[in-house]
Amino acid sequence: MLTLDAVDAGFGRALVLRGLSFRARPSEVTCVMGRNGAGKTTMLRAIMGQVPVSAGRITLDGQRIETLAPHLIPQLGVGYVPQGRRLFGSLTVAENLDIGLMTRGRGRATRDRVLDLFPRLRERLGQTAATLSGGEQQMLAIARALCLEPKVILLDEPTEGLQPSMIAAIRDTVRTLRGMGVAVVLVEQRAEAVLDLADRVAFVETGRVAEMVPAADLGPEAPQFARYVGV
């Protein structure tokens, strides 16, 4: 389980997260919603050690991780797919996956399992990442993170700008990951996507989680969507 307890994080005196507390459990999809600038991406970046944490603690299965060097956090089993995908554009699909596999010494069996989730990538192993479509690039970004066999995966708006068929494929993947016991943290802005996928929803406002609600308690017209997201 990934836990954030009263975390302050930001850059110098400019705190973005202010006493933020959050939990992501195995076999659950926890969606994170909030307006632009609320602190959603900063929360993910703080978990990954990319934004300094000045107070509070972040733990993974009881082990503190906010004190670790950033490169050690993925080695413990935290996968991160940032907004904008950020692939190694001049490397092939296979080479991108290899970089993910090497992190925790995973081999062919892991790669095959990951490619079973994304058959389209299997057909494009020799193609350079920069030449893939937007949806395929997103699939590759997720596939590369899955090569770490993560306990927790952080997805920052993975369906943004994609066509409907790709969005459906990525949502299917999120459900599969939940079935595999992975704790999925999904930053998402669309209420219908959240209601379709989430087990719990964290509404973030001004750097803290204002409400954490079971998704089953939310309907399409739930007031939280208007209050915290503006939809």
Partner 1 sequence: MRMLALHLGVLAVLAAAQFLLPAYHHTNAARIMVLAVYAIGYNIAFGYTGLLSLGHALFFAAGMYATGLLVDRGGEPWLALLAGLVAGGAVAGAVGLLALRTAGPAFMIVTLMFAQAFHLAILYWGGFTGGDEGFTLSGAARRLGPLDLADPTTRYFVALALVSVAMLGTLALVRSRLGRVLVAVRENEERTRMLGYDTFRAKLLALMLSGLASGAAGSTYGLMFGYVGGSFAAIQYSILPLIWVLMGGAGTVLGPLLGTALMFYLIDLSSSVTTASQAVVGAALIGLILFAPRGILGTLRERGLRGLP
Which chain residues interact with partner 1 by CB under 8 A?
A: 48, 50, 69-75, 80, 82, 86-91, 95, 98-100, 102-104, 126, 144-145, 148
We find the least distance from the C-beta atom of residue 121 to partner 1, in angstroms, to be 17
Q: Identify which of residues 64 and 71 has a Cβ nearer to partner 1 in the complex.
A: 71
Q: Identify which of residues 95 and 199 has a Cβ nearer to partner 1 in the complex.
A: 95
Q: Identify which of residues 99 and 216 has a Cβ nearer to partner 1 in the complex.
A: 99
We find the least distance from the C-beta atom of residue 77 to partner 1, in angstroms, to be 10
We find the least distance from the C-beta atom of residue 108 to partner 1, in angstroms, to be 15
Q: Identify which of residues 50 and 224 has a Cβ nearer to partner 1 in the complex.
A: 50
We find the least distance from the C-beta atom of residue 86 to partner 1, in angstroms, to be 5
We find the least distance from the C-beta atom of residue 45 to partner 1, in angstroms, to be 9
SS (H, E, C) the chain: CEEEEEEEEEECCEEEEEEEEEEECCCCEEEEECCCCCCHHHHHHHHCCCCCEEEEEEEECCEECCCCCCCHHHHCCEEEECCCCCCCCCCEHHHHHHHHHHHCCCCHHHHHHHHHHCHHHHCCCCCEHHHCCHHHHHHHHHHHHHCCCCCEEEEECCCCCCCHHHHHHHHHHHHHHHHCCCEEEEECCCHHHHHHHCCEEEEEECCEEEEEEEHHHCCCCCHHHHHHHCC
We find the least distance from the C-beta atom of residue 207 to partner 1, in angstroms, to be 22
Q: How far apart are the C-alpha atoms of 231 and 228, rounded to whole Å?
A: 8
Q: Identify which of residues 40 and 200 has a Cβ nearer to partner 1 in the complex.
A: 40
Q: Identify which of residues 182 and 218 has a Cβ nearer to partner 1 in the complex.
A: 182
